[in-house]
Structure 1
């Protein structure tokens, strides 16, 4: 079993909210042996309280929780509390509709049960690396779109845009590639590294991103072109 590493690097701190006790024990034991620090809750309300009162590098939420569901917890953390910590949802459902609901609530990634523990570890490590890897540089401006990399905030035509952490990373990747296209496979590699999600995940995130960046405005900026890929364009550009 691989570990996080040694030296001065702090162990990633994870909150697991899962009501299936046997699965939770297995996940906790595996991740602790791999070098993670784990807090655990079996129900949504306590998980929400822990997430509000502690600092975590990543949160794992089961969708189906007693009382307050994982989707409810995720949405409250994003909208009411404003927490930007990466959130991984665990679910027994693999439909695009279910994933869209999770991404709408603010989830960054999905893992369908049953899953391999090394894959869970790889996804968590990728999420924590991305969270800590924001670059300190000047804001990026593309037409009326402005990305403040240091503050990790986005606005268009002066209006603040509320993006999920993964939506922000996708937009930032497209902005850095502008005016060129980036192939779907390359975009997935840039966002998720070697822990690639299933084929619906990027499409779902792009759908949600367009709802925020394009739909409220007269001219779309996110373009997908068959055979070329995806790019970010200025309104009225070729």
Structure 2
């Protein structure tokens, strides 16, 4: 599970790393609001832990920007010392999915994160995913671009599904491999081969490419012509 922590308190960051990493979490950290937005929109995460009291841009502003400006659907768990009903309602109104008041127990934080991630993934099971002129029906397995059916391989379908969940954010290569093959990714350069095959179907017949490679980093989808 890939989680972004947006928090400026070094002691809290250390506690989260010390507790969550041994449980199998892979963590990124941003220490202010602007860095948090950049990290959240620039790479894929299963969930975001967002402190409400940040220097400069506070957590409410960060959450509002991620939801309204960047249309990011990643589950957000807010951490805060503010425990009034008004504060909680404000957090939910700007797009937070859950709210945990300091001081909190780390096992409860873990449980809430897992519940948010599980809920988000379950929502995807019956969802029709759309991005630009791409449409992927996870119920029927049908994929179209600009209304034209795409004939994908099973691995190509998995890759495209993972990229659409993250879009328009970058999905690092290691994360994409884990989404497709779990904890046993192939040792060969299989991902590059499957990406090439996917491009032939997804991009070649159309006016501009949607699947972009950031060399040495990962892959992402775009819904505009960036060539």
TM-score by shorter chain over 0.5: yes
Question: Aligned-pair distance for 1:150?
Answer: 2.8
Distance in 1, matches of 2:72 and 2:65, equals 9
Distance in 2, matches of 1:17 and 1:105, equals 16
| Residues 124-153 of structure 1: per-residue CA shift (max 9 Å, x gap) | 01111111112655xxxxxxxxxxx4349x
- Matching of residue 99 in structure 1 with residue 77 in structure 2: no
Question: For residue 165 of structure 2, what is the aligned residue in structure 1?
Answer: none
Structure 1 residues 63 and 135: CA distance shift in structure 2, 3 A: closer
1:150 to 112, 128, 152: 128
Question: For the Cα contact (< 8 Å) 1:134–1:150, is it kept in 2?
Answer: no
Map 1:147-226 → 2, pairs under 5 A:
149-151=127-129
Question: For residue 25 of structure 2, what is the aligned residue in structure 1?
Answer: 36
- Matching of residue 55 in structure 1 with residue 44 in structure 2: yes
- Matching of residue 16 in structure 1 with residue 5 in structure 2: yes
Distance in 1, matches of 2:79 and 2:27, equals 16
Question: Aligned-pair distance for 1:41?
Answer: 1.2
Structure 1 residues 33 and 136: CA distance shift in structure 2, 3 A: closer
Question: For residue 124 of structure 1, what is the aligned residue in structure 2?
Answer: 113
Question: Aligned-pair distance for 1:38?
Answer: 0.2
Question: For the Cα contact (< 8 Å) 1:28–1:38, is it kept in 2?
Answer: yes
Name structure 1 gaps, 5 residues minimum. 1-11, 138-148, 153-238
Distance in 2, matches of 1:51 and 1:135, equals 20
Distance in 1, matches of 2:62 and 2:124, equals 29
Name structure 2 gaps, 5 residues minimum. 131-227
Q: Give me the TM-score of the superposition, normalised by structure 1.
A: 0.53
Question: Aligned-pair distance for 1:42?
Answer: 1.2
Question: For residue 72 of structure 2, what is the aligned residue in structure 1?
Answer: 83
Distance in 2, matches of 1:45 and 1:135, equals 29
SS, match of residue 133 in structure 1: helix
Question: For residue 57 of structure 2, what is the aligned residue in structure 1?
Answer: 68
SS, match of residue 19 in structure 1: coil
| Residues 37-82 of structure 1: per-residue CA shift (max 9 Å, x gap) | 0000111110110001000000010000001111111000000000
Aligned residues: 130
